């Protein structure tokens, strides 16, 4: 069982979130619309995401699920010609506010991408990248963060003797867990995962899924997946997206046993998508 | 219904094989021709020039007498000029490339600029010489100094460096930038820590090849009036100087036959310098090349 140790003041945030037993909202999306040029990709999205839960977003290709998760840390703005309207409240503050810096937001909201994307650097430097850009220089502190993050991502035992080797020498599954460790190293509040297992083999997928279960004790996790069984296995809440709209959002058990919308039922029973 | 008649395919097979062999032959001869031309050139220059390549050749200034003529002033002058060209062209070239690739938003003006930088790379070097003459030699009153020549050469190779750097920067995979931005890195941090380390082999390879062009270029130097007979070494960046291609050009046009051999000796020195620079480029590329 992995338990992150809270041992310095930069982790105050985690302590604060752990102190509350009733689950608060991390994200409250209100009437979000998004356009790529003229293409209306997200339509009137309303979603309330609770802390310390795993929220899965499912739907067929092109339904806007990846766009939505990239909007939560404003990575979608890297695409030119993106326009948005509406609000996304993160911890009660609108992330589209002019004075809300994306850098600040992304320090609290880590992201794991579809394809493992470690830097062409050593394992150590990969994990230390985030803390370093946020100003941590002390070697001992960095050592601790690296160990803690790698343990957090359940990969410490596999790589502890080769921290100075290039991360490209690892297998795809290991690389993805390095990327998760790298996201943990900035001590985020939320971790966004955009189809994190789609490029992995079944055993690596299983490891990442187990990891997600562990991580939700300390983090809120939002995971996009095209794999419905995966959503059913690991998530607490599930949102079903179709053509840029949220068709249904409910407890995962409910979605998979008694969905209220016909389209949700058709999708999860494999009739399309 | 079958569209492929295998009997016919087998019949046509021998013709196809012959066509294949013919083209292989044509391409081989083309390569051979290029290599042969290069070989003849090398042979002529080395056999002619080797006799004049002595320690004195490097110690002497230019002279009316072939046996006393040396490349000292031109070699040192070229090195001084490169001391201006390398920092100026790399700084401005890589800076422009970073701006165009990482900061500039997509707009019609920026597309126009991008396209025209590529076009600038094709402008004849004489034209750059005239530009240097107007701006640096006359308007800024630098005269025919090392600084004026260095700036002119920098302008000449700037488009090449910009284009090569842009390509190197563009080749850095997008997912690495995303990973960096996703952790809250600023654009500058991402450029310094992720983009440049991955792009540096490409940038330096292109940069060094461009610098080798600057060291061998003659036309702009002729236009801005770099003298040939110089009997002293440069004291500072405002000194007059001469450069290797100028010196070689001067020797080659002299009537005495011996000076042809001196010119060959000069060409050998210049070629060794160029080969050295190109090997550094290859070395850097191999050493720092990274897999994605």
pLDDT per residue of chain A (273 residues) written in tens, 0 to 9: 444 444 444 444 444 444 444 678 999 999 999 999 999 999 999 999 999 999 999 999 889 999 999 999 999 998 888 999 999 999 999 999 989 999 999 999 999 999 999 999 999 999 999 999 999 999 999 999 999 999 999 899 999 999 999 999 999 999 999 999 999 999 999 999 999 998 888 988 998 899 999 899 999 999 999 888 999 999 999 999 999 999 999 999 999 999 999 999 999 888 776
Burial of B158 (0-12, 13-18, 19+ CB in 10 A): buried
CB < 8 Å to A78, chain B: 177-178, 181
Please check whether residue B1 lies inside any domain of the structure: no
Distances (CA, A) of A45 to A29, A34, A247, A262, B60: 7, 9, 10, 19, 81
**Nearest to B285, CA basis, from B208, B165, B172, B205:** B205
Specify whether the CB–CB gap between A14 and A152 falls below 8 A. Answer: no
Specify whether the CB–CB gap between B82 and B214 falls below 8 A. Answer: yes
Distance separating the N- and C-terminal Cα atoms of chain B: 47
Please check whether residue B137 lies inside any domain of the structure: yes
Q: Which residues contact B90 (CB under 8 A, 6 or more apart)?
A: B161, B207
Q: In what order do the strands lie in the sheet with A39-50?
A: A39-50, A25-36, A82-90, A93-94
DSSP string, A135-148: T---HHHHHHHHHH
Look at residue B289 in the predicted model and tell me its pLDDT: 66
3-state secondary structure of B242: coil
CB < 8 Å to B173, chain A: 117
Distances (CA, A) of A115 to A161, A165, A198, B199, B292: 25, 20, 8, 21, 12
Verify that B26 and B122 share a domain, yes or no.
no
Verify that B128 and B234 share a domain, yes or no.
yes
Higher per-residue confidence, A15 vs B6: B6
pLDDT at residue B176 is higher than 60 = yes
Give the containing element (helix H, strand E) for A247: strand A245-251
- CATH code at B258? 1.10.3720.10
> DSSP H helical segments within chain A, as ranges?
12-19, 65-72, 102-108, 123-133, 139-152, 156-159, 172-184, 202-215, 228-234, 252-257, 262-268
Verify that B85 and B11 share a domain, yes or no.
no
**Nearest to A272, CA basis, from A231, A232, A234, A240:** A240
Inter-chain touch B193–A73, beta carbons under 8 Å: no
Please check whether residue B147 lies inside any domain of the structure: yes
CB < 8 Å to B193, chain A: 129, 133
Look at residue B63 in the predicted model and tell me its pLDDT: 78
Please check whether residue B222 lies inside any domain of the structure: yes
Q: Which residues contact A208 (CB under 8 A, 6 or more apart)?
A: A173, A176, A177, A180, A196, A197, A200
ipTM over 0.90? The verdict is: no
Q: Which domain holds residue B15?
A: 6-52
Name the residue facing A115 among B106, B175, B194 (closest C-beta): B175
Verify that B242 and B144 share a domain, yes or no.
yes
**Nearest to A224, CA basis, from A244, A199, A195:** A195
The pLDDT tens digits for B118-136 are: 898 889 999 999 999 999 9
Q: Please state, in angstroms and rounded to a whole number, the distance separating the CA atoms of residues B198 and A39.
A: 34
Give A23's Cβ-side CA count (13 Å radius). Answer: 16
Residue from B101, B177, B182 whose CB has the most chain A CBs within 10 Å, to mutate: B182
Look at residue A230 in the predicted model and tell me its pLDDT: 92
Inter-chain touch A104–B184, beta carbons under 8 Å: yes
Look at residue A22 in the predicted model and tell me its pLDDT: 67
Q: Report CA A4 to chain centroid distance, whole Å.
A: 18
Q: Please state, in angstroms and rounded to a whole number, the distance separating the CA atoms of residues B51 and B262.
A: 9
Verify that B137 and B276 share a domain, yes or no.
yes
Look at residue A7 in the predicted model and tell me its pLDDT: 46
Count helices and strands in chain A by DSSP H and E runs:
11, 10
DSSP summary character for residue A24: P
**Nearest to B89, CA basis, from B188, B210, B191, B199:** B210
Determine the Cα angle at B176 with ends B171 and B180, to 5°: 135
Q: Which residues contact B210 (CB under 8 A, 6 or more apart)?
A: B89, B93, B157, B160, B161, B164
Distances (CA, A) of A229 to A205, A262, B16: 12, 19, 53
Q: What percent of chain B has pLDDT over 90?
A: 57
- Asked if A75 has any chain B CB less than 8 Å from its own CB, the reply is yes
Verify that B182 and B63 share a domain, yes or no.
yes
Verify that B206 and B271 share a domain, yes or no.
yes
The pLDDT tens digits for B258-286 are: 888 999 999 999 999 999 988 988 888 78
Look at residue A23 in the predicted model and tell me its pLDDT: 78
Look at residue A6 in the predicted model and tell me its pLDDT: 44
Verify that B24 and B86 share a domain, yes or no.
no
Structure tokens at B120: 């600038």
Look at residue A139 in the predicted model and tell me its pLDDT: 94
Verify that B41 and B134 share a domain, yes or no.
no
Please check whether residue B195 lies inside any domain of the structure: yes
pLDDT at residue B196 is higher than 50 = yes
Q: Please state, in angstroms and rounded to a whole number, the distance separating the CA atoms of residues B33 and B4.
A: 41
Specify whether the CB–CB gap between A65 and A247 falls below 8 A. Answer: no
Inter-chain touch B184–A111, beta carbons under 8 Å: no
**Nearest to B96, CA basis, from B171, B24, B159:** B159
Structure tokens at B177: 């930038």
3-state secondary structure of A115: coil
Inter-chain touch A78–B181, beta carbons under 8 Å: yes
Other beta carbons less than 10 A from residue B65's beta carbon = 11
pTM of the model: 0.81
Specify whether the CB–CB gap between B81 and B153 falls below 8 A. Answer: yes
CB < 8 Å to B290, chain A: 120
Verify that B161 and B278 share a domain, yes or no.
yes
Determine the Cα angle at A237 with ends A234 and A238, to 5°: 90
Verify that B67 and B19 share a domain, yes or no.
no
Q: Please state, in angstroms and rounded to a whole number, the distance separating the CA atoms of residues A9 and A214.
A: 23
The pLDDT tens digits for B20-70 are: 999 999 999 999 999 999 999 999 999 988 888 888 888 888 777 877 888
Query: Domain tally for chain B?
Result: 2
Inter-chain touch A120–B184, beta carbons under 8 Å: no
Verify that B121 and B221 share a domain, yes or no.
yes
CB < 8 Å to A129, chain B: 180, 183, 193
**Nearest to B164, CA basis, from B266, B54, B80, B284:** B284
Please check whether residue B130 lies inside any domain of the structure: yes
Query: Which of the residue ranges A14-18, B135-139, B218-222 would you say has the lowest mean pLDDT?
Result: A14-18
**Nearest to B97, CA basis, from B164, B173, B197, B181:** B164
């Amino acid at each position: 069982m992995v338990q992150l140790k809270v041992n310095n003041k930069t982790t105050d945030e985690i302590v604060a979130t752990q102190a509350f037993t009733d689950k608060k909202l991390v994200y409250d999306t209100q009437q979000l619309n998004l356009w790529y040029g003229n293409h209306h990709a997200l339509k009137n999205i309303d979603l309330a995401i609770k802390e310390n839960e795993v929220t899965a977003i499912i739907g067929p290709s092109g339904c806007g699920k990846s766009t939505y998760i990239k909007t939560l840390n404003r990575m979608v703005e890297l695409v030119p010609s993106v326009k948005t309207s509406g609000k996304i409240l993160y911890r009660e503050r609108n992330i589209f506010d002019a004075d809300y810096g994306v850098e600040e937001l992304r320090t609290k909201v880590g992201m794991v991408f579809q394809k493992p994307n470690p830097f062409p650097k050593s394992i150590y430097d990969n994990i230390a990248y985030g803390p370093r850009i946020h100003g941590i220089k002390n070697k001992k502190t960095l050592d601790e963060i690296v160990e803690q993050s790698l343990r957090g991502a359940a990969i410490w035992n596999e790589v502890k003797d080769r921290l100075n080797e290039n991360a490209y020498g690892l297998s795809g599954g290991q690389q993805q867990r390095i990327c998760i460790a790298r996201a943990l190293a900035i001590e985020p509040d939320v971790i966004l995962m955009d189809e994190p297992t789609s490029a992995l083999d079944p055993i690596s997928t299983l490891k990442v899924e187990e990891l997600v279960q562990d991580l939700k004790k300390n983090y809120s996790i939002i995971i996009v997946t095209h794999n419905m069984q995966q959503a059913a296995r690991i998530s607490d809440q599930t949102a079903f997206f179709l053509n840029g709209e949220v068709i249904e959002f409910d407890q995962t058990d409910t979605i998979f046993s008694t969905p209220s919308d016909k389209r949700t039922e058709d999708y999860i029973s494999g009739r399309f998508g | 219904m079958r569209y492929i008649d295998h009997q016919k395919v087998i019949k046509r097979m021998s013709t196809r094989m012959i066509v294949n062999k013919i083209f292989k032959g044509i391409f081989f001869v083309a390569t051979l021709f290029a290599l042969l031309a290069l070989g003849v050139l090398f042979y002529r220059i080395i056999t002619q020039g080797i006799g004049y390549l002595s320690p004195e050749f490097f110690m002497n200034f230019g002279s009316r007498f072939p046996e006393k003529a040396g490349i000292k002033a031109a070699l040192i002058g070229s090195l001084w000029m490169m001391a201006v060209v390398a920092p100026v062209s790399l700084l401005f070239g890589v800076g422009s490339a970073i701006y165009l690739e990482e900061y500039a938003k997509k707009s019609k003006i920026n597309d126009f600029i991008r396209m025209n930088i590529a076009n600038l790379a094709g402008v004849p070097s004489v034209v750059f010489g005239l530009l240097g003459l107007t701006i640096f030699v006359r308007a800024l009153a630098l005269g025919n100094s090392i600084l004026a020549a260095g700036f002119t050469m920098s302008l000449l190779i700037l488009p090449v460096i910009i284009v090569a750097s842009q390509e190197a920067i563009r080749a850095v995979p997008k997912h690495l930038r995303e990973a960096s931005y996703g952790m809250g890195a600023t654009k500058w941090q991402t450029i310094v820590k992720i983009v440049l380390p991955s792009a540096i082999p490409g940038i330096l390879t292109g940069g060094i090849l461009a610098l080798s062009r600057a060291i061998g270029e003659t036309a702009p130097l002729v236009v801005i009036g770099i003298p040939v007979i110089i009997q002293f070494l440069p004291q500072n960046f405002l000194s007059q100087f001469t450069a290797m291609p100028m010196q070689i050009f001067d020797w080659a046009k002299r009537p005495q036959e011996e000076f042809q051999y001196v010119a060959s000796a000069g060409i050998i020195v210049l070629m060794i310098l160029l080969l050295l620079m190109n090997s550094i480029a290859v070395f850097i590329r191999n050493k720092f090349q990274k897999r994605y």
